[in-house]
Structure 1
Amino acid sequence: MRWRVALLTASDKGSRGEREDTAAQVIRELVEEELQGEIVEYRVVPDETDEIIASLIEMTEYFQAHLIFTTGGTGLLERDVTPEATRQVIDREVPGLAEAMRAAAVRKDRRYVLHRGIAGLRGRTLILNLPGTPEGVHAHLAAVLEDLPVALLTLNRRTAPSPSDVL
Structure 2
Amino acid sequence: MPSDPPKLSGGNPSGTGDAAKFGVVTVSDRASAGIYDDLSGPAILQFFLEAIKTEWHAIYRVIPDERPLIEDTLKQLCDKEGCCFVVTTGGTGPAPRDVTPEATEAVCERMMPGYGEQMRAISLKHVPTAVLSRQTAGLRGKSLILNLPGKPKAIRETIDEVFVSIPACIQLLEGPYIETNDEVVKAFRPAGLIRKTESAT
TM norm structure 1: 0.91
**Cα distance 1:113–1:94, how it changes in 2: closer, same or farther (>3 A)?**
same
Q: Which has the larger radius of gyration?
A: 2
Structure 1 segment 139-154 matched on structure 2, within 5 A? 139-154=157-172
- With over 3 angstroms needed to count, the CA separation of the structure-2 counterparts of 1:121 and 1:23, relative to structure 1, is same
Moved over 3 A (4+): 157-163
Q: Which moved more, 1:153-162 or 1:93-102?
A: 153-162
Whole-Å separation in 2 of the counterparts to 1:15 and 1:157: 31
Shift of 1:161: 3.6
Bigger shift: residues 75-84 or 133-142: 133-142
Name the SS of the counterpart of 2:35 in structure 1.
coil
Equivalent AA in structure 1 for residue 32 of structure 2: S
How far apart, in 2, do the equivalents of 1:21 and 1:158 lie? 29
Deviation at 1:158, TM superposition (A): 6.7
1:8 equivalenced with 2:31 (yes/no): no
Cα distance in structure 1, aligned partners of 2:161 and 2:119: 5
Q: What percent identity do the matched residue pairs reach?
A: 36
| TM-superposition CA deviations, 1:108-142 (whole Å, max 9, x none) | 21111111110100011000001111012112212
What is residue 198 of structure 2 aligned with on the other side? none
Q: Residue 19 of structure 2 contacts residue 176 of structure 2 at CA under 8 Å; is this kept in 1?
A: no
Contact 1:28/1:39 (<8 A) preserved: no
Match of 1:24 among 41, 60, 81: 41
Which amino acid in structure 2 is aligned with residue 8 of structure 1?
V
- The gaps in structure 2 that reach 5 residues or longer are 1-17, 178-188, 193-201
Q: CA deviation at 1:41?
A: 1.1
**What is the one-letter code of the residue matched to 1:55?**
T
Equivalent residue letter for 2:20: W
**Which of 112, 122, 128 is equivalent to 1:104?**
122
1:111 maps to a residue whose letter is T
Q: Pick from 88, 92, 113: which aligns with 2:106?
A: 88
1:73 maps to 91
Q: Distance in 2 between matches of 1:142 and 1:41?
A: 20
Residue among 150, 172, 188 paired with 1:132: 150
- Aligned-pair RMSD on alpha carbons? 1.7
Q: In the alignment, is the contact (CA less than 8 A) between 1:7 and 1:39 conserved in 2?
A: no
Tell me, which stretches of 5 or more residues in structure 1 are unaligned? none
* Count of residue pairs the alignment pairs up: 163
Secondary structure at the aligned position of 1:19 is classed as coil
Aligned partner of 1:6: which letter? Answer: G
| Shift in Å, 1:35 | 2.6
